[in-house]
Structure 1
């Protein structure tokens, strides 16, 4: 009887952990898509040309920064690019 109760509690704990990580993962995916879309839209509409800067190159590094940082990552990329650092 004790083993069954322990198994049920373990299953509930595993289900709660999986739910928590899936909820956080969905938030991260939405943020990453928003960051990449922002970067692509800035390049498509030549927004940085208004400030006298060329477009941001889309390469592996910028994609990883936008994917991991999301919208704040894209903003940091734009600010660094305008400052001439990136």
Structure 2
């Protein structure tokens, strides 16, 4: 009987932990997708001449920064680009 209660308690704890990690992962994925979309939009508007500055090169490093940093990563890339530092 006690084994059943322990098993049920462990399952409840495991479900709670999985819920927390999936909730955090969903937030990170949404942030990464928004960051990558912003990078492509910024490059599109820079190429068409609507905003000044030079185009931010899209390579593995910039995509990785945008995927991990999201919107803050894009802001960092834009600031570095305005300072003349390309990645």
Q: Please give the TM-score of this superposition, normalised by the length of structure 2.
A: 0.90
Asked if 1:13 is matched to 2:13, the reply is: yes
* Structure 1 counterpart of 2:59: 59
CA distance in 2, matches of 1:84, 1:45: 18
| Cα distance, 1:84 vs structure 2 | 1.3
Following superposition, which runs of at least 4 residues in structure 1 exceed 3 angstroms of deviation?
none
How large is the RMSD of aligned CA atoms in angstroms?
1.3
Aligned residues: 84
| Cα distance, 1:85 vs structure 2 | 2.2
Q: How does 1:25-44 map to 2 (within 5 A)?
A: 25-44=25-44
- 1:23-42 Cα deviation digits (max 9, x unpaired): 01110010001100111000
Structure 2 gaps of 5+ residues are none
Q: Please give the TM-score of this superposition, normalised by the length of structure 1.
A: 0.91
- 1:38-75 Cα deviation digits (max 9, x unpaired): 1100000117x644x31000000000000000000110
Greater helix share, structure number: 1
* Structure 2 counterpart of 1:68: 68
